[in-house]
Structure 1
């Protein structure tokens, strides 16, 4: 059973501020900002898994994160802000001149849970659009999409196809019996800066 996330708007705003400060410290000064955990609410000092998404003029500019909690959540957000700006292989690193146009979103994830399915139609029927994030794993390849992406990819079949393409997983293998692709689902809470637009929505 999926756990439920309960982060207040206040704590979400703090995480967004941490992501922004980390982003600007790295891009402007090549400094890695470390939030002072002693000054933060207890919930943000606990381990957590997050993604940070960057957009520029409503277009995706970087998105990096973790599905497993490894560090205090505040530190995880700070790390992922830097990674989204500098390590997303789809984009060149963010430059200082872009910062004024960058808007960001922080997404907090529940631990992914395996989803058993008998066949492709069964898998599609078990997904909950706008609620489930989905992760596909095949051999050493893994890809996921956050639940926010349902805003622009509304059909389960196309949602799964987009994940497979992103991870270079053969889409046709989703029809294999027994299934050879592992599927995990997760839920999220997400917090955004003012002016943030979901990419492609």
Structure 2
């Protein structure tokens, strides 16, 4: 698995602040927020892949990400935060009055690594619950689950079955040996309720 960068508390807070501010800015201006790159640490300018997850009262409220590193980390966070808030087709766009109840989580992904396997048993053996995020591909269909999804689907078989259904495939399609499987790890971090409201009151 590719090396995962570590991020300081300050860098994580900066990314979370950018995510929240970009949502609020888009809500008001209907355009992406411009970020002064000179204020961004070099580590956050590296090309990275991210997912931004929004939760409201502990329930999913939006989640959008990318799987190919094509732009700086901080910019990918800004774009995915806006997309999660306004363009996740599973949900209505986030409203201004909801923002105090929204909690933001950012996941930074390693580069996906192909899982080579000869049979179902080998595939299951190479997957590590609670650590690996998975991508599956078959023809034009594909889907991914972040490692956080293991909390809801702790069984390897159920994890793969639900991932197949997410991709629009039969739930047991992963057993036929034809799907491509990739795995990745994440560093994930989320807002702390106390920090958010302290900053809001300043």
The TM-score with structure 2 as length reference comes to 0.91
1:89 alignment counterpart: 89
Tell me if 1:192 matches 2:186: no
Q: Which structure 2 residues correspond to residues 65-144 of structure 1 after superposition, within 5 A?
A: 65-144=65-144
Runs of 4+ in 1 over 6 A off after TM superposition: none
Where in structure 2 are the equivalents of 1:18-29 lying within 5 Å?
Answer: 18-29=18-29
Offset from partner CA, 1:45-73 (integer Å, 9 cap, x none): 11111010001111101000111111111
Structure 2 match to 1:199:
none
- Tell me, which stretches of 5 or more residues in structure 1 are unaligned? 197-201
| Mapped contact 2:53–2:106 kept (Cα < 8 A) | yes
Q: Tell me the secondary structure at the aligned position of residue 89 of structure 1.
A: coil
For residues 19-58 of structure 1, the aligned pairs below 5 Å read 19-58=19-58
Residues 185, 140 of structure 1: CA spacing in aligned structure 2 closer, same or farther, 3 A cutoff? same
Q: 1 CA distance for matches of 2:60 and 2:77?
A: 18
Post-superposition Cα deviations, 1:100-137, rounded to whole Å, max 9, x if no partner, equal: 11111011001101001112222112111111000111
SS of 2:89's partner is: coil
| 1:42 CA displacement | 0.4
| Contact kept? 1:48, 1:76, Cα under 8 Å | yes
Matched, 1:17 2:9: no
Q: 1:168: how far off?
A: 0.8
Q: What secondary structure sits across from 1:90 in the alignment?
A: coil
1:69 aligned counterpart, secondary structure: coil
* Count of residues paired in the alignment: 194
CA distance in 2 between counterparts of 1:184 and 1:117 reads 11
Shift of 1:31: 3.0
Partners of 1:124 and 1:89 in 2: how far apart?
31
1:10 is displaced (CA, Å) by 1.7
Identify the residue that residue 155 of structure 1 maps to in structure 2. 155
Instruction: Tell me the alpha carbon deviations over residues 114-166 of structure 1, each in whole angstroms, 9 at most, x when there is no partner.
Output: 00111222211211111100011111111111111112211111111121111
Structure number with the bigger relative contact order (C-alpha 8 A, sep ≥ 6) is 1
Residue by residue over 1:61-92, the C-alpha shift from the partner in whole angstroms, topping out at 9 and shown as x without a partner, is 10001111111110000000010011112111
Alpha-carbon distance between aligned partners in 1 of 2:165 and 2:40, rounded to the nearest angstrom: 39
CA contact (8 A) 1:164 1:171 kept: yes
Residue 182 of structure 1 corresponds to 180
